[in-house]
A = this chain, B = another copy of it.
Amino acid sequence: MDKIRIGIVGYGNLGRGVQYAASQNKDMEVVAVFTRRDPAAVQTVLPVKVKRYDAMREYVGKIDVMILCGGSATDLPAQSAEVVQLFNTVDSFDTHARIPEYFEALDAAAKKAGHLGAMSIGWDPGLFSLARIYFGSVMPDGGTYTFWGKGVSQGHSDAIRRVKGVKDARQYTVPVESALERVRSGENPVLTTREKHTRECYVVAEEGADLARIEREIKEMPNYFADYDTTVHFISEEELREKHAGIPHGGFVLRSGKSAADNRFLLEFSLKLDSNPEFTSSVLVAYARAVYRLHAEGKTGAVTAFDVAPKYLSPLTEAEQRKELL
């Protein structure tokens, strides 16, 4: 079997995760990692060539799908429309408000080049988006709820680190169990931001810092914490390293509603992940298979998880899928 040849652009947590995930799929091989750092300084988790970002062009015809592992804030908006001129791509763009413009830019660049780019792939956006569209489509009269956690929010952890006197921090987003139970009971409640999630912060302060001020500044931070019930725990650097080194996450999508004859339905999708980036990577790799197959069928432009039939994700043949999974 000819393997699907994967390139990895960017080698942080997500890039490492993609390399691990590709190693679990027999029909894939990672050809090279591309980085804007000094390639000699990049240590990979499994053996693979590491090349400069600018060397990508030499791999045209040698890589089928590039998996873009940069961040959504600045990396992906610049990279995706650029890389898709040379290769098919998959990315995990997750800045929700900018999805429409990102789609337009990627779609135009991909169509012009005759390539295919899958965007906003992962678990949210990604699998959770799938739950929302399937659940809403099969149950028109109802309400959809998304809860995140318990898990580490990198963005919120970073926000705490920017507070004066903070040396390091880890923030957990925690779904409110009683709110989940209200949804499961079929009540279809209107829930405020505060009612859905709490925020738990583990903070290492610099020596002699004013802890009361740090706690106040965190709790009053607009957008990040002000709308939530927030708890701040000051801990030692050692405890942070020992107990909060992982990047777990999880969450729930629920839809509760009813038939025209007033019979109630409840649908729930949940996931629990010891490593958020490693799972996101695993989803990216499955969509790389889909991108490879769809492009082989002549599909070009930008797609999201909504545009990809599930059969394209599975390593099984279509006949095997029907026999074993249907």
Contact = CB atoms under 8 A, between A and B. Distances in A.
Interface stretch (A35-43, A124-132, A149-157, A168-176): A124-132
A125 B326 contact: yes
Contacts of A103: 322
A263 B269 contact: no
A307 B321 CA distance: 10
Contacts of A23: 260
A138 B282 contact: yes
A220 B23 CA distance: 48
A140 B325 contact: no
Contacts of A264: 274
Interface residues of A, number: 66
Interface string A263-284: 1111111111111001100110
Given A140-B24, A306-B322, A326-B125, A274 B282 contact: no
Given A99-B326, A306-B314, 10 more contacts: A20-B259, A129-B326, A133-B325, A137-B314, A138-B282, A139-B282, A259-B282, A266-B272, A306-B318, A306-B322
Interface of A: 17, 20-21, 23-25, 45, 96, 99-100, 103, 120, 125, 127, 129-134, 136-141, 259-261, 263-275, 278-279, 282-283, 286, 289, 304-311, 313-315, 318-319, 321-323, 325-326
